[in-house]
Amino acid sequence: MNNDLQNTTTYCSLREIRQRKEALLHDIRKDNKQMGKLWKDLFAKPAKSNRKKGFSLASFMGTGMGVVDGALLAWKLYRKFKR
């Protein structure tokens, strides 16, 4: 049988309660700072690489597909509203 009262701490004065409260508050603030730092690191932008910003095959294909997609959309809209 599990007794929850065995794990509790008894306090004899208000000073002991106040010290425990301050210690817990300090630990909570420290954990909050650590979680904030981890959260920022999680969503931080990766460091820039030393690659040139020239034309690469991937950027060319991405731009080309964007242009083709835009042209198809324009053609569809033109045909739909052509009256």
pLDDT in tens, 28-41: 999 999 999 999 98
What's the pTM value of the predicted model, to 2 decimals? 0.44
C-beta separation of 29 from 23 below 8 A: no
Residue with tokens 């007794």: 3
Contact 17, 26 (CB under 8 A): no
Task: Label residue 6 by pLDDT band (50, 70, 90).
Answer: low
Give me the phi and psi of 63, to 5 degrees please.
-65, -40
Whether the Cβ atoms of residue 11 and residue 17 lie closer than 8 Å to each other: yes
Q: CA-CA distance, 52 to 49, in Å (whole number)?
A: 9
Task: Give the tokens for residue 13.
Answer: 């004065």
> pLDDT tens-digit profile of 37-83?
999 988 887 777 666 666 677 777 888 899 999 999 999 999 999 86
Q: Is the pLDDT of residue 3 over 90?
A: no
Which amino acid, one-letter code, is at 9? T
List the end-to-end C-alpha distance of the chain, in Å, as a whole number.
Answer: 83
